[in-house]
Structure 1
Amino acid sequence: MANEEMFMRERKAFRLIAEAALQPRGSPELYRRVLSEIAETLEFDIGTLRLFDEEEGVLRLEAVVGLPGGEVQDPVSLDDPEYLAARVARTKTPIFESDVSKSAELKSRMKVIEALGIESLIFWPIVGANDELLGVMNVANRTVRRLSEEDKDFFQIVAGMFAAVIERHRAMEALRESEERYRRLAESVVDIIWTVDMNLEFTYASPSIEEVLGYTSEEVMSMPLNRIMTPESLKLVEETLTESLRLEATVGRNGYESPPLVIQMFHKNGTTLWIEISRTFIRDDDDTPIGILGVARDITWRKTAEEELARAKAQAEFYNDLMAHDLANMQQGVLVSLELMLRNSELPKELRGLANRALAQTKRGVTLTGNVKKLGRLVDGEKELIKTDLYQTVMDAIEIVVDSYPDKEIKVNTNLVKGKQNVMADEFLIDLFYNLLHNAARMDQSEAVVIGVSEYPSDERGMLMLKIEDRGPGISDSMKEAILSRFDEKVKRGWGLGLTLVKQIVDRYGGKIWIEDRISGDYSQGACFVLVLPAAP
Structure 2
Amino acid sequence: MNNPQFKDESYNEKQKIDSIFNSLDLIIFLLDSKGIILRVNRKACELFECIKEELIGQNWLKKVIPSNYKERLLKRFKAFSKNSNKSESRIRTPIISKNENERIIKWHITTLRKKSREISEIIISGRNVTKQNRIKSKLKRSEEKYRIAYDRASFYKDLFAHDINNILNNIKSATDLLSIFQNNPKKQKKNKELIELIENQVSRAERLISNVQKLSKLDKTQNSIKEIDAIEVLKASIDYIKMAFQDSKLRISVETPLNSVQIYANNLLQDVFENILINAIKYNDKTEINIQIKIKEIIEENHKYFKFEIIDNGIGIPDNMKEKVFHMGFLKDKGGKGMGFGLALVKRVIKSYKGRIWVEDKIQGEYTQGSNFIILIPALK
Q: Which TM-score band (shorter chain)?
A: 0.3 to 0.5
TM-score (ref. length: structure 1): 0.35
Rg: which structure is higher?
2
